[in-house]
Amino acid sequence: MQKLNVSDKVWQRLLDVRSEKACACCGDFSESEQEALNLYSPIARRDNQQLIIGQIGQSLDGRVATVSGDSGEVSGPDGIVHLHRIRALVDGVIIGVKTALHDSPRLTVRHCEGPNPARIVIDPNGRLPNDSPVLADDGTRRFVIQAVETTRPGGVEVIRLEAHDGQFSPNEIVEALRSKGMGNLLVEGGSYTIAKFIESELLGRIHISIAPLLIGKGPSGLTMSNHPQKLINAIRPDTVSYSLGSDVVFDCGLLPEAIDASKPLHG
Ligand SMILES: NC(=O)c1ccc[n+]([C@@H]2O[C@H](COP(=O)([O-])OP(=O)(O)OC[C@H]3O[C@@H](n4cnc5c(N)ncnc54)[C@H](OP(=O)(O)O)[C@@H]3O)[C@@H](O)[C@H]2O)c1
């Protein structure tokens, strides 16, 4: 397992890579700083094919909440910082409406330095209340992707897509967001929303961040409708594991172009 040192120098370099002021491949860094660059630079880079990454924070037994829906502190402190680093390096964060309703997340960057990403909610039926924190006007772009005509507060950008059997095509979602200038994207959850992006072969990478607790029962980090009967057919990502401190993250490359884009730094 790789040990990380996200020193101030590394983080500043990553922010410079994100804003295309620096490359990620040269410089004088210690081994653990280099590992931090390996983990985060595929997200920060803008010179590759645009990346869509997923992130799940889960327990040792693969759960994201208790049966009663308590989901606040599954990730440990370093897992939370990790999530905020990813937010700071992408252009936009996508969540499904159930996460927006259940968790009322702000999706801002608070545990590291860096810009807030645009906030994007997939809400086909217009269930998200207009006073939700995710739609609060703080100068960040906000999008709602919906099939209905629900009016949204001024400044919120509405993307109207046609749903088929209640479903949007993730490809159409990405196309619409790209046309609005959204490049690298984080699909932050929940499980349903991430699964749709994996099943559409749009997710280049997924970070599965595991915290050392056992919940016993409750919703899983990821459940896919398209799952194999035999293990030989299971998805086996190109994976590197990193110790974050309180949590361990598995950085999984799912698509060949995303795997290739991270290779030069992994050596
Ligand atoms: N630990 C973590 O990393 C993490 C992160 C985020 C969330 N969570 C937890 O995850 C739970 C919620 O996750 P979830 O899987 O139940 O729901 P979700 O993914 O948050 O939201 C699913 C809903 O979003 C809409 N949606 C998403 N993709 C769509 C598509 N392609 N086409 C049409 N509609 C789409 C649908 O809305 P309609 O229902 O209106 O059709 C769908 O039912 C919460 O308990 C939250 O705490 C955990």
The answer to whether the CB of 36 falls within 8 A of the CB of 8 is no
**pLDDT at res. 154:** 94
Site to probe by mutation for ligand 1, drawn from 107, 172, 177, 193 as the one with most ligand atoms within 8 Å of Cβ, is 193
Whether residue 257 is predicted with pLDDT greater than 90 in this model: the reply is no
Report CA(68)–ligand 1 centroid distance (Å).
17
pLDDT at 62: 97
Structure tokens at 113: 């330095």
63 DSSP β-pair partners: 220
* Atom 47 of ligand 1, residue of closest alpha carbon: 71
| Alpha carbon separation from 116 to 22, 36, 109 (Å, rounded) | 20, 21, 5
Query: How far apart (Å, rounded) are the C-alpha atoms in residues 184 and 14?
Result: 14
**Which atom of ligand 1 is least distant from the CA of 74?**
1
| Burial of 77 from C-beta contacts in 10 A (0-12 / 13-18 / 19+) | middle
Q: What is the pLDDT of residue 234?
A: 95
For the CA of 103, the nearest atom of ligand 1: 47
pLDDT at 266: 46
Q: Would you state the torsion angle of the CA atoms of residues 96, 42, 175, 124, taken in this order, to the nearest 10 degrees? A: 0
**Mean pLDDT, rounded, of the chain:** 95
Convert the pLDDT of each residue in 204-247 to its tens digit. Answer: 999 999 999 999 999 999 999 989 999 999 999 999 999 999 99
pLDDT digits (tens, 9 = 90+) for 196-206: 999 999 999 99
Confidence check: pLDDT of 264 > 60: no
pLDDT at residue 164, as a whole number = 95
Q: What are phi and psi of 10, to 5 degrees?
A: -65, -45
Which of 66, 70, 74, 97 for a ligand 1 pocket mutation test, highest count of atoms within 8 Å of Cβ? 97
- pLDDT band for 267, please (50, 70, 90 cuts): very low
Q: What is the CATH number of domain 2-266?
A: 3.40.430.10
Domain ranges of the chain: 2-266
The pLDDT tens digits for 4-24 are: 999 999 999 999 999 999 988
Q: Which residue has the least CA distance to atom 22 on ligand 1?
A: 96
- Ligand 1 center to 232 CA (angstroms): 28
Is the whole-model pTM more than 0.85? yes
Q: How large a percentage of the chain has pLDDT more than 70?
A: 98
Mapping DSSP to helix (H, G, I), strand (E, B) and coil, where does residue 159 land? strand
Ligand 1 centroid to residue 167 C-alpha, Å: 12
pLDDT at position 2? 87
CA distances from 108 to 39, 92, 210 (A): 21, 10, 22
Residues with CB under 6 Å of ligand 1 are: 56-58, 64-65, 69, 71, 74, 95-99, 102-103, 122, 124-125, 127, 163, 166-168, 170, 188-193, 196, 219
What are the tens digits of pLDDT across the range 33-80?
999 999 999 999 998 779 999 999 999 999 999 999 998 889 999 999
Structure tokens at 67: 């049966």
- Give the pLDDT of residue 126: 97
